[in-house]
Amino acid sequence: MRRVDGGNVDLRIDFREQRSGIIEELEHFANDFTFGLEQLETGDYWIGDHIIIERKTLNDFMVSIKTGRIFQQGYRMAQTGKNTLIILEGDKSDVVTGEMSRQAVQGALIHLSVFLGIPIIRSMNTSETASLLVHICSQSQRLELPRPKSILQGLPGIRITKKQRQKLFLLRNLPGIGTKKGLALLRSFGSIENILNALPHDLRKVAGIGNRLSNRLFTIFHEPF
């Protein structure tokens, strides 16, 4: 059965995914689980209240590396403290964007999977993506999910809230930042999103962030590989 009221469903789907072809594929599994459409703040699919999934076609993924959007999305996903996943859909023949080096793609994959703790699964097409979503729904109902350690790791000796600790963990792993500068950035800008959107001269207003480091951070956040 399919629900579209955003109620108590197994799979919540962002309304912008309506043209992806995934919903039509999910109809084949209509007797196995329920799904609904709504506007999600982060990711394209939510399973229960504990798994967030971002779906990217290979072409979209390449474009998002060039624009830096994939890193902003990745940091927002990691910041939730939930179990997260990126599904890369399609093959090389689907890529129509300009040439990009293998090293650049690998660099993005490393940053997302190793430093943000977001697993990445390949899918050949929308049919396989739908099947993956169903299998994840099924396993999530039978198995207990581990806590995402890379995001929930404690920071001894710092009296801040759990949510602030999650944000600080993301920042302190950036090159040249660490705990002290990470705290200074959060206190100056208030959120991860504001830091990601800050210009170099704004970053330099934070204690300990000099010209070289501010330019380096801006490059990490925005420049193509």
Strands 83-89 and 35-38, by their bridges, are: unpaired
Would you tell me which CATH number, out of the four given (2.60.40.10, 3.80.30.20, 1.10.8.80, 3.40.50.10130), belongs to the domain 11-142?
Answer: 3.40.50.10130
Q: How far apart are CA 109 and CA 3, in angstroms?
A: 34
Identity of the highest mean pLDDT range in 6-15, 34-43, 72-81:
34-43
Please give the average per-residue pLDDT across 61-67, as a whole number.
Answer: 86
Q: How far apart are CA 87 and CA 121, in angstroms?
A: 5
Query: Above 70 in pLDDT, residue 161?
Result: no
Q: What is the pLDDT of residue 64?
A: 87
Q: What is the pLDDT of residue 53?
A: 97
Angle between helices 162-172 and 178-189 (to 10 degrees): 120
Looking at domain 153-222, which CATH architecture does it have?
Answer: Orthogonal Bundle (1.10)
Q: What is the pLDDT of residue 94?
A: 67
Write out the residue limits of the CATH 3.40.50.10130 domain(s) in the chain: 11-142
Between 130 and 176, name the one with better pLDDT: 130
Between 57 and 225, name the one with better pLDDT: 57
* 146 band by pLDDT with thresholds 50, 70 and 90: low
On the CB side of 19, CA atoms within 13 Å amount to 1
For residue 194, give the amino acid letter: N
Q: Tokens 């002290």 identify what position?
A: 180
Write out the residue limits of the CATH 1.10.150.20 domain(s) in the chain: 153-222
Q: What is the pLDDT of residue 153?
A: 47
Between 31 and 8, name the one with better pLDDT: 31
Between 209 and 2, name the one with better pLDDT: 209
Query: Above 80 in pLDDT, residue 162?
Result: no
Residues 6+ apart with CB under 8 A from 219: none
Query: Above 80 in pLDDT, residue 139?
Result: yes
* 154 band by pLDDT with thresholds 50, 70 and 90: very low
Helix%, strand%, coil% for the chain, nearest 5:
50, 15, 35
Average pLDDT, rounded, for the chain: 81
Contact (Cβ atoms closer than 8 angstroms) between residue 214 and residue 200: yes
Q: What is the distance of C-alpha 35 from the center of its chain?
A: 21
Q: Report which of 14, 27, 40 is spatially closest to residue 127, judged by C-alpha positions.
A: 27
